[in-house]
Amino acid sequence: MSKFVLSLVALVLLSVTTWAYVQDKKHADKTVAGGSANHVLVTPDALAWGPAPPGLPAGAEIAVLQGDPSKAGLPFSMRAKFPDGYTIAPHWHPTDENVLVLQGTMMLGLGEKFDQTAAREMPAGSYGLMPKGMRHFAMAKGETIIQIYGIGPFEINYVNAADDPRNKK
């Protein structure tokens, strides 16, 4: 083959490869419902734990894995760490709350009154879904870590305003 033909073949292959890369990059940069198309890989030792927002009683820690839980209409994923005996009074959320128990045991109950005897024991490996508006309460048995995910905003509205830590100043 002549140098001209080899150069032409190389140019065509380079053009096709570049076009394919650009098309793939365009696809990867697209967002789904405002979310990111990028991979998120987080190992437990890399979690950035910090204090829970003021809507939760003191003592909990939160690590956001993906997204921004405060943003409406966008997906998020976060972890919450609770000490043994930690309780969350009856409350509800404006969006569905998906919960995976990763460590310890989460006691979850339904209703507008905290009743530990009515709570269901959810050991590590359990999954729970609290549809938007469902009144529920929780208690940690042993140090407990859960993963919460859904579509934002993630907000906590207490059934009884006196139970809201934001009102206790």
Domain ranges of the chain: 1-30, 44-167
Q: Is the pTM of this model over 0.85?
A: no
* CA gap 141, 100 in Å, rounded: 15
pLDDT tens, residue order, the chain (169 aa): 565 444 433 333 333 333 333 334 443 333 344 555 678 888 999 999 999 999 999 999 999 999 999 999 999 999 999 999 999 999 999 999 999 999 999 999 999 999 999 999 999 999 999 999 999 999 999 999 999 999 999 999 999 999 999 998 6
Write down the CATH superfamily of domain 44-167: Jelly Rolls (2.60.120.10)
